[in-house]
Structure 1
Amino acid sequence: MVTIREIEADSLTELIELYRELTGEPTDPARLAEAFASIKADSRYILLGAYVDGELMGSLMGILCQDLVGDCRPFMVIENVVVSARARRQGLARQLMTAIEKLAHERNCCYIILVSGEKRKEAHVFYEKMGYRVEKVEGYRKHLSSH
């Protein structure tokens, strides 16, 4: 049975494993716990999990951003979309995206944006099937080194 709900602290070990699948990099458990506490205290962050028989198998994060243009409605950024390789093709990503879109509607968001790595072609096909379209914009990222 699949349940979509907000992730709580008791799922952080499983979340670390999902992020390792997503990035191929380890996540520091202490830093994750600290960051998790911060986002749980901030209502602009929504961290959803897809649980299969109680086990966390997928996740995504939505961040509400207040816009200052036009009607000044908020928009949502989606980040860190991941479903474990053990649970793909079961509709978990679709259920996660549908749930976050519902929450964006409830919060009066005017649009949702997300970025996906250039080589993640299967993900791109999925996002297009979900109604997202490629917009001709240039994306830029600057990695800041820690001191």
Structure 2
Amino acid sequence: MVTIKEIEADSLTELNELYRELTGAPAEPGKFADTFAAIKADSRYILLGAYVDGELMGSLMGILCQDLIGDCRPFMVIENVVVSSRARRQGLGKQLMTAIENIAHERDCYYIILVSGEKRKEAHVFYEKMGYRDEKVEGYRKHLSSH
């Protein structure tokens, strides 16, 4: 049975393993736990998990952003979408995306934005099936080195 719900601290080890699948390396556990606590304390962050028979098999994060354009409605940014390689093609990603979209509607978001790595073609097909459109914008990222 699949359950979509907010991730709690008892799932941190599983969540870090999902992120290892996504990025190739796990986060440092102590910093990961501290950052998780900060995210949980901030109502603008929504960290959802897809649990299959109690095991965390997918996750995504939505971040609510206030906006000063037009009627000043917020928008949502989606990040860190991942479904375990052991559970793909079972509808978990779709259930996660539908759940975060419902939350965005409840919070009166004007739109949802996400970015996906250029080489993640399978993910792009998935997002397009979910109704997201490639708007042909240029994306820029600057990595900041720590001092």
TM-score normalised by the chain length of structure 2: 0.99
Aligned length: 147
Q: CA deviation at 1:25?
A: 1.6
* Residue 103 in structure 1 maps to residue 103 in structure 2: yes
Counterpart residue number, 2:49? 49
For 1:1-147, list aligned pairs within 5 A: 1-147=1-147
Percent identity between the two aligned chains: 86
Farther-moved stretch of structure 1 (22-31 vs 96-105)? 22-31
Q: Which residues of structure 1 form unaligned runs of 5+?
A: none
Which amino acid in 2 is paired with 1:57?
M
Please give the root-mean-square deviation of Cα atoms over the aligned residues, in Å: 0.4
| C-alpha distance in structure 2 between counterparts of 1:28 and 1:80, whole Å | 17
Q: CA deviation at 1:26?
A: 2.1
Q: CA deviation at 1:51?
A: 0.1
| C-alpha distance in structure 1 between counterparts of 2:100 and 2:26, whole Å | 26
Q: CA deviation at 1:146?
A: 1.0
SS at structure 2 position matched to 1:141: coil
Q: Which residues of structure 2 form unaligned runs of 5+?
A: none
Q: CA deviation at 1:73?
A: 0.2
Deviation string 1:78-131 (CA, Å, 9 cap, x unpaired) is 000000000000000000000000000000000000000000000000000000
| C-alpha distance in structure 1 between counterparts of 2:17 and 2:136, whole Å | 34
- Which 4+ residue blocks in structure 1 deviate beyond 6 angstroms? none
Which amino acid in 1 is paired with 2:29?
P
TM-score normalised by the chain length of structure 1: 0.99
